[in-house]
Structure 1
Amino acid sequence: MNMLKKCRRQRWKIGIIIVFAPLLSAQEKMEFSIQDAQNYAIEHNYDIKNARLSIKVADKQRWEVTAAGLPQIEATAQYMKYIDLPTQLIPGEAFGAPAGTLLEANFGLPHNANYGISVSQLIFSGSYLVGLRASTIYQQLSKLSAHSTEQNVRETIAQTCYLILTAEENRRVLQQSYENLQKTHTEISAMFKEGFVEETDVKQLRISLSGLENSIFTLDRQVEISYQLLKMQLGVDFQTEVALNENLTDQLKKINIESRLDREFVLAENVSFRLLKTQEKLADLNVKNEMVSFLPSFAAFAQTSQNAMRLEFNIFDGAEKWYPTTLVGVEMTWPIFSGGAKVFRMQKAKAELQQAELSRKQAEQGLQLSYNQARLGLQSAHKKFSNTQESRNLAKDIYEINLIKYKEGIVSSLDLIQSHNQYLQSESEYLNAVSEVLNAQNTLDKLLDSE
């Protein structure tokens, strides 16, 4: 009876697994368009998450610097038990002892306690004022760096998706070609058995089929690795199934060369250039910080405390007396001489500022050059795409015509294989041209992005 109940429970559990397994597997599959993949990566990519944490760090650092100029309040409490009271030597003449005699005396009581509170307020510090400005600019730098990271992630996501779509389209073409050639191989094998063609014709087709099988296998591995790369860029576990719901044809419809070439490149709005300008500002503030380090700083302070001295441990006895101490004051700190270290630090900061200025000027030319190259690259890639598209169509027509002629005995198997290889080569060149256009467009979009 118990065994019967156990069997029923097991069948019940298995039934639940069978019912819900498709739902679980469906939840693990994720489908994206390229834009959806980019948007998903903006929220889940590891580099972007780190960049946003850097913004938080910069914000907390800004508040940390600000807090240094606010009132500082500190409370203290202390208890001391003298095992041996301090001993002092005093001249004996004061107490009637012979001249030259030293008397030992113990001052103080064995049990001592005190508690108090102190307040300090910075009045003026040149380094503090510069630090406030620097912390704000550093926060701006973190935000620009995060935006630059987002740009890079969008670009790499698009590149990986283009790689996947190109490989999948290439595989589709090769698979279709394989199926057509296999059909031809079957027909030619039948003709060979009837004595209409030579055995070498059959073998040549078999060699071509083997080559296609190897190419398809290689593309399958390439697509698999590319999807793993995409998962890592998306911030998705490798166990999760990911698929693109677009194809290469969809991307070709989105190509708009004219609108991109008409857009003006504004250097001051480029994120990379703005990053360098911000770094130059920080270098300039570093120089100012070294200069103001020669100035004095001022601070006000106040302190009050209560002190107890006892022969016995009775510091919590309310009847015993505590002795107060209260003081206020102003402090000036003015570094006079530090062995020349401050002078050298200032000279170093000025040299670093010059480096930042040179990097910015070099970036101005470099970014303008990159834009010109990207613009010309897009034009060149589009021209190549148009030519290879025409060549592919011509090669396909030639192959189909030769296939008909071969079946009619007009051309040799060598001509058929040659035209087939020419067609595959033109397909490969066409797909490479498509990939170049898409990547060139992606590169130009990144340079023009000023959000």
Structure 2
Amino acid sequence: MRQSLVMVLLALFYASSVHVVWAQKSDTVPTSFSMEEAVNYAMMHNKEVTIADLNEAISNMQTKEFVSQGLPQINGSAQLDYNFELMTMGTDENGNPIQFGSEYGGQAGISLSQMLFDGSFLVGLKASRTYQDLAIKQTTQQKIDIVEQVQKAYFLALVNEENREAIQRNYDRLKQLLYETEEMYKNGFAEKIDVQRIRVNYNSVVLQLEQNKQEIELAYMLLKFQMGYNIDTEIQLKDHLSDQHLNETLMTSDMQYAYQNRIEYDILNTQFTLKELERKENNFQYMPKLNLVANYGWANFGDDFGAYWTSANWFPNGSVGVKMTVPIFDGLLKSRKSQRMKLEMQQISTQKDLMKDNVAVEVKKAADQLSTSLKALQIYEDNMGLAKEVYEHSLAKYQEGIGSNLEVIEADGSYKDAQDEYYSSLYNALVAQIALQKANGTLYHVAPESE
């Protein structure tokens, strides 16, 4: 028996341990992200997205609130009166005052009201659902902006990381060259000015390393901020620049119809529909409203407060009926509202036309920027290769004693400038591609929710 109890306790301890370990693993926050994973994380944790999701939930609740207006409205009431001065209606033949009523009175009951017909309610119900759809699209717009910012920050971190490797190679190369030149100077094969020239470049690359370190820290901080990630926690990037592909086919997209993919244009369409429904709802308010009303309750009157509370002194009463409300004149309020809404619809239509033109300009501008960035990237990549060859050739001549130290320094400076221009143009090209995708409306699509 005791052995069985021990086995049971061990089994329970093992099960609880497994549960704790599993819970710890399930709560583990990832620290390594690909571009796609960073975007997905931002969709769940970015504060701006959270605010947009809450706004969407609020609009959903507002729709339910509006639906509640069409459901039965039931209210209960109770009232107790003490008539310390009864109503007097003249005097009798003896001159005594004639008073009506009783010292105590009270009533309790329940009332019901049910909407039977209200044209504005039916249209308003449809409008509230359209408003909910508008909130969903505004959430999508916010997510597109976050995707843009996350991708830019991710690329900035990648470019700075790769640039650090290039700067580190420059540092190692100059450090070795400085050491060799100092040894040559000690042995009388180089002048002091040769050492000083190289040391100037060496000090510059040391400073460049420190600056690059700060740029990387800022890039990661920006990325974590856009993701909604803890800024104090370190993260790793899974992707590499070699994994990224610049898509030249984006520049051949049809600019004329790009606006149809833009969430901003979709939002304008929804706003137009919403305004149209609001105007229709306002016009339906000219029609009569019909409600079912019912009341049931009890009343009591008497001069004896003690007997007031006995059930025998409470008498029931009830009624049921139909109430119709007909608007006659409201000072032209609804007419003025209808005219205002018509103007607002015209305003939205004009905004839609303007949006079409703006999108065409944005796409053309982004496509030209990407084209220019790709050409610049190719040129700077070629320049970097040429500058590297010039540096290696100058260094070989210097080491063989047939070249000057100044030639090596100039070649090294040109090589570093070419590297800086290349990485700057690479980031510009990646950002230009993001801008073109956003202009085309293809940067981010929300997957449809399953029914």
When the two structures are superposed, what TM-score results if normalisation uses the length of structure 2? 0.86
> Alpha-carbon deviation of 1:244?
0.9
State whether structure 2 residue 254 is matched by structure 1 residue 257: no
The answer for the alignment partner of 2:412 in structure 1 is: 420
1:129-278 equivalence runs, <5 A: 129-251=122-244, 254-258=245-249, 260-261=250-251, 264=254, 266-278=258-270
Quick one: distance in 2 between partners of 1:387 and 1:52? 45
The answer for the alignment partner of 2:45 in structure 1 is: 44
> Alpha-carbon deviation of 1:283?
2.0
Q: Show structure 1 runs of 4+ deviating over 6 A.
A: none
CA contact 1:87–1:104 (8 Å) conserved in 2: no
State the superposition RMSD in angstroms: 2.4
Q: 1:197 to 1:105 in 2, by over 3 A?
A: farther
Structure 1, unmatched stretches of 5+, are 1-19
1:286-305 equivalence runs, <5 A: 286-305=278-297
Tell me which of 78, 91, 96 is aligned to 2:93. Answer: 96
Quick one: distance in 1 between partners of 2:367 and 2:39? 23
Q: Deviations over 1:29-67 (max 9, x none)?
A: 601111111111112222222222222211111111111
| 1:246 alignment partner, SS class | coil
Q: 1:313 to 1:379 in 2, by over 3 A?
A: farther
Q: 1:395 to 1:96 in 2, by over 3 A?
A: same
| 1:172 alignment partner, SS class | helix
Quick one: distance in 1 between partners of 2:89 and 2:356? 79
CA contact 1:111–1:313 (8 Å) conserved in 2: no
Aligned residues, how many? 417
Q: Which letter does structure 2 place at the counterpart of 1:96?
A: E
CA contact 2:59–2:135 (8 Å) conserved in 1: yes
The answer for the alignment partner of 1:382 in structure 2 is: 374
Q: Which letter does structure 1 place at the counterpart of 2:90?
A: P
| 1:278 alignment partner, SS class | helix
1:55-134 equivalence runs, <5 A: 55-80=56-81, 82=82, 84-92=83-91, 95-97=92-94, 104-134=97-127
Q: Deviations over 1:142-198 (max 9, x none)?
A: 111111222211111110011111111112111110111011001001111122222
> Alpha-carbon deviation of 1:285?
2.2
Q: Deviations over 1:302-352 (max 9, x none)?
A: 11111122421455433x232222122322333333334333333322222
CA contact 1:62–1:136 (8 Å) conserved in 2: yes
The answer for the alignment partner of 1:3 in structure 2 is: none
When the two structures are superposed, what TM-score results if normalisation uses the length of structure 1? 0.86
Quick one: distance in 1 between partners of 2:231 and 2:425? 30
> Alpha-carbon deviation of 1:105?
4.6
State whether structure 2 residue 360 is matched by structure 1 residue 360: no
| 1:409 alignment partner, SS class | coil
Quick one: distance in 2 between partners of 1:387 and 1:278? 46
Q: Which letter does structure 1 place at the counterpart of 2:175?
A: Q
> Alpha-carbon deviation of 1:262?
5.3
| 2:330 alignment partner, SS class | coil
CA contact 1:88–1:104 (8 Å) conserved in 2: no
